[in-house]
Each structure stands twice: as structure tokens, then as C-alpha cells.
Amino acid sequence: MSHPQVRRGLVALATSAVVSPLVPAATAGAAAPATGDGDSAVTAARQATTKVRLRVANQEPRSVSTTRSYAAGLLRDENVTKKRKDIVEVRRNGRVAKPANRQLRQGDVVRLVRVTTVVNTARKPIAPRTVEQYTTKLKPGRREVVAKGRPGAKLVIIKRTRHNYEVVDTDRAQRVLRAPKPRRVLVGRSARFVPGTNHLNWGALANCESGGNPRAVNPAGYYGLYQFDTGTWRSVGGSGLPSRASAPEQTYRAKLLYKQRGRSPWPSCGRLL
């Protein structure tokens, strides 16, 4: 009779011999087969292409097919170099697509706009201005240059921005390199010169107001060439009666009054000035 441990070993060996052919042997490193529909959908999506038209700068647009979702990937695939300032547009139905909606679709136009900036500079002179100084030391109307002045210099900067070699914006600026010195001129005038009044027809006004008579007296209280009343006469520095002053004195005071009030003191004859 056999030993009990020997009998148990023979039973275990027979059992393993019966079961082992039913289990397939595993191959080390073998990939598991795709069994789900999701894996098939991913593979199909990767192989799907989008037909778009690509236009680089002013070149004629050409049709391309791409598996890329965005324009940047398409440009890389087509070996198109985008510089830092260049603009990439995705045009759809004649309009530029908004940034949030630029995923490529069938029929889109991908356009690369070449942006260049050219800066030109030029040095230009600044003409000196003329400053007139009135003096009674020269005869009226005589002019004398006392300082010739000096022209200045400025740098004019013109920056032009081009899209596909067409100018779309021009920016001008300037910087003063040297300030000009003004030209100074002495202009002779009489002691009673009133700027802004010499071009007026004072003779016509006097003829209308008083018949050109510096001694004219109106019983209503108006005197002289320009028919001053005493209050108005004193307001412009006159003393005594206007009709007793010289004709040049009366004209000088009339010019001062014009500087203050214009033609209004002579409502009827002022139109002749």
C-alpha cells in the first residue's frame, strides 16, 4: 500500500494536466486588442482632414488639406515662417473669425499678413521768427535789424507701417536738435503811435463828425474833430476842452478811444473808418 502523501501528489499532478490546456499562454509584451467603439472614433478623428485655402502675403491663395485644428499648426506643416509682428487671420464667410472661434472649418481662408515697419529720419532747419520792437529813436517807418537771429534744427521722424508691402499707417514726429534764435528788428514810430489804428481813415471820420474842423463845438456838448464829450475826452487822458487841443492830439486820443471801444463811440460816422 502506497504512502498517503504520495497519493495526494499524484492527484494534484493529474488535475493540473487536465486544466492547463484550457488556459491560453500569455505572450510577454503583447498589446491588448482594441475592443471599444471610442478607440475607433479617436482614430477616425485623427485621420479626418479639413480643406482650407492658404494665402501668404500677396501670393495667390492655394487649397490645402490639414489635420490641424488651428492655423499655427497648419503654417508649420506648410513650412511658412511667421515673424513676431505678422498677423494671422482666419476668414470665414467673408469676415475675420473672432479669437474664440478660430478652430479651422471646411472652406476657411487662412491668411498671413506680413507686417513691416520702416523708419526714416531727416534733419531740417527751423526758420527763426522775427520780433519787432517799436522805438521813437528812429524815424517813423524806418527799420533797423539789431540781431540777425539764427536758424534752428530739428529731426523729423517718419514711421510707416506696411501690411503686405502696402502702407496702412504713417506716424510723424519731430525732435528739436537746436532751438532758433529770433531775428530782432527796431521799427521807428512817433511818440503817439497807437498799434492797430494807423490803417484806419481818420480823415474821413473827422470830416463826417465835424467837417474836418478841430475847433468845432456842438451846443449839445461835443467838441473838436471827433466830437468828444468832456467825460470821454478825460477817459483817454485828455485835459481841458477837446476843441482847444491840437489836431494831432485829438487824433491820438481818438485812436486810444478806438482801441478801447472800437467804432461804437461814433455810431453814424464810424462806418467810414
From CA 271, how far away is CA 259, in angstroms rounded? 15
| Domains located in the chain, CATH noted | 49-113 (3.10.20.90), 118-137+146-186 (2.20.230.10), 202-272 (1.10.530.10)
Closest CA to 229 of 237, 166, 52, 220: 220
H or E element: which one contains 256?
A: helix 247-261
CB half-sphere exposure, 243, CA atoms < 13 A: 15
CB atoms within 10 A of CB 104: 21
- Read off the DSSP letter of residue 21: G
Q: Which of 236, 222, 219, 234 is nearest to 267 (CA)?
A: 222
Can you tell me the distance from the alpha carbon of 191 to that of 168, in angstroms, rounded to the nearest whole number?
60
How would you write the pLDDT of the chain (273 residues) with one tens digit per residue? 444 444 444 444 344 434 334 334 333 344 444 444 445 554 555 558 999 999 999 999 999 999 999 999 999 999 999 999 999 999 999 899 998 888 999 999 999 999 999 999 999 999 999 999 888 788 888 999 999 999 999 999 999 999 998 999 999 999 999 999 999 999 887 777 888 898 999 999 999 999 999 999 999 999 999 999 999 999 999 999 999 999 999 999 999 999 999 999 999 999 999
Gap between the Cα atoms of 126 and 114, Å rounded: 37
Residues in a beta bridge with 169: 161
Measure Cα distances from 152 to 63, 127, 145, 148, 158 in Å.
59, 7, 19, 13, 20
